[in-house]
Amino acid sequence: MKEEAYTSLICKKFCNYYKPNKETELCGGYFYLRKYITSRELYGIIKIFHLNNEKLANHGLSFICDKCDFREDGCDFFINKSEVPCGGYLIISRLFDYLNI
Protein backbone atom coordinates (compact mmCIF):
# COMPACT_ATOMS: atom_id res chain seq x y z
CA MET A 1 0.00 0.00 0.00
CA LYS A 2 1.30 3.45 -0.89
CA GLU A 3 1.95 6.09 1.72
CA GLU A 4 0.95 9.67 0.87
CA ALA A 5 4.33 11.24 1.70
CA TYR A 6 6.19 8.85 -0.61
CA THR A 7 3.52 9.08 -3.29
CA SER A 8 3.85 12.87 -3.35
CA LEU A 9 7.64 12.80 -3.45
CA ILE A 10 8.20 9.89 -5.83
CA CYS A 11 5.13 9.34 -7.97
CA LYS A 12 3.48 12.72 -8.34
CA LYS A 13 6.75 14.61 -8.78
CA PHE A 14 8.91 12.19 -10.77
CA CYS A 15 6.81 9.48 -12.41
CA ASN A 16 5.32 9.93 -15.88
CA TYR A 17 3.32 6.73 -15.34
CA TYR A 18 1.63 7.87 -12.13
CA LYS A 19 -2.13 7.33 -12.01
CA PRO A 20 -4.17 8.39 -8.97
CA ASN A 21 -6.07 5.67 -7.14
CA LYS A 22 -3.61 2.91 -8.00
CA GLU A 23 -2.57 2.61 -4.37
CA THR A 24 -1.73 -1.09 -4.35
CA GLU A 25 0.71 -1.00 -7.29
CA LEU A 26 4.32 -0.37 -6.28
CA CYS A 27 7.20 0.09 -8.69
CA GLY A 28 10.59 -1.26 -7.69
CA GLY A 29 11.97 2.24 -7.08
CA TYR A 30 9.09 3.14 -4.76
CA PHE A 31 9.52 -0.11 -2.85
CA TYR A 32 13.27 0.41 -2.47
CA LEU A 33 13.07 4.06 -1.38
CA ARG A 34 10.25 3.41 1.10
CA LYS A 35 12.12 0.48 2.62
CA TYR A 36 15.48 2.20 3.10
CA ILE A 37 14.82 5.95 3.35
CA THR A 38 12.33 7.83 5.50
CA SER A 39 10.07 10.29 3.71
CA ARG A 40 11.82 13.12 5.53
CA GLU A 41 15.23 11.93 4.34
CA LEU A 42 13.89 11.53 0.80
CA TYR A 43 12.54 15.07 0.81
CA GLY A 44 15.96 16.31 1.93
CA ILE A 45 17.78 14.29 -0.73
CA ILE A 46 15.55 15.64 -3.49
CA LYS A 47 15.96 19.20 -2.25
CA ILE A 48 19.67 19.16 -1.40
CA PHE A 49 20.76 17.39 -4.57
CA HIS A 50 18.36 19.38 -6.76
CA LEU A 51 17.02 16.19 -8.29
CA ASN A 52 14.74 16.69 -11.26
CA ASN A 53 12.76 14.80 -13.87
CA GLU A 54 15.18 15.15 -16.80
CA LYS A 55 16.66 12.52 -19.11
CA LEU A 56 18.99 10.14 -17.31
CA ALA A 57 21.79 7.72 -17.94
CA ASN A 58 20.74 4.11 -17.64
CA HIS A 59 22.65 2.73 -14.68
CA GLY A 60 21.20 -0.76 -14.97
CA LEU A 61 19.86 -0.69 -11.43
CA SER A 62 18.69 -4.29 -11.41
CA PHE A 63 18.26 -4.28 -7.63
CA ILE A 64 15.33 -1.91 -8.25
CA CYS A 65 13.77 -3.65 -11.24
CA ASP A 66 14.07 -7.11 -9.72
CA LYS A 67 11.47 -6.22 -7.04
CA CYS A 68 9.08 -4.39 -9.34
CA ASP A 69 5.43 -5.39 -9.82
CA PHE A 70 5.51 -3.97 -13.38
CA ARG A 71 8.69 -5.64 -14.64
CA GLU A 72 7.26 -8.45 -16.74
CA ASP A 73 4.22 -6.97 -18.40
CA GLY A 74 3.83 -3.31 -17.53
CA CYS A 75 7.17 -1.52 -17.62
CA ASP A 76 7.98 0.36 -20.81
CA PHE A 77 11.43 1.21 -19.47
CA PHE A 78 12.36 -2.43 -18.85
CA ILE A 79 10.59 -3.98 -21.84
CA ASN A 80 11.25 -1.38 -24.55
CA LYS A 81 14.34 0.25 -23.04
CA SER A 82 12.54 3.60 -23.23
CA GLU A 83 14.21 6.66 -21.74
CA VAL A 84 11.45 7.18 -19.18
CA PRO A 85 11.69 5.01 -16.03
CA CYS A 86 9.49 5.01 -12.95
CA GLY A 87 9.89 7.85 -10.48
CA GLY A 88 11.80 5.79 -7.93
CA TYR A 89 14.31 4.57 -10.50
CA LEU A 90 14.74 8.12 -11.72
CA ILE A 91 15.43 9.45 -8.21
CA ILE A 92 17.98 6.74 -7.44
CA SER A 93 19.65 7.13 -10.83
CA ARG A 94 19.83 10.94 -10.41
CA LEU A 95 21.39 10.45 -6.99
CA PHE A 96 23.98 8.06 -8.45
CA ASP A 97 24.74 10.62 -11.19
CA TYR A 98 25.22 13.32 -8.58
CA LEU A 99 27.49 11.10 -6.48
CA ASN A 100 29.37 9.83 -9.59
CA ILE A 101 28.59 6.21 -8.75
Q: Is the pLDDT of residue 92 over 80?
A: yes
Own/partner long-range contacts of 6-14 (Cβ < 8 Å, ≥24 apart) = 6/30, 6/33, 6/34, 6/39, 6/42, 9/39, 9/42, 9/43, 9/46, 10/42, 10/87, 10/88, 10/91, 11/87, 13/46, 13/53, 13/87, 14/51, 14/53, 14/87, 14/88, 14/90, 14/91
Q: Is the pLDDT of residue 88 over 60?
A: yes
**8: DSSP letter:** I
Domain containing 41 equals 4-99
Q: What is the pTM of this model?
A: 0.81
**Count of structural domains, the chain:** 1
The phi-psi region of residue 75 (left if phi > 0; otherwise alpha if psi is between -120 and 50; otherwise beta) is beta
d(C-alpha 65, C-alpha 48), whole Å: 26
Per-residue pLDDT of 55-70, as tens digits, reads: 665 666 788 888 788 8
- pLDDT at residue 83 above 80? no
At 57 the pLDDT is: 56
Q: What is the pLDDT of residue 59?
A: 64
What does the pLDDT read at residue 18?
87
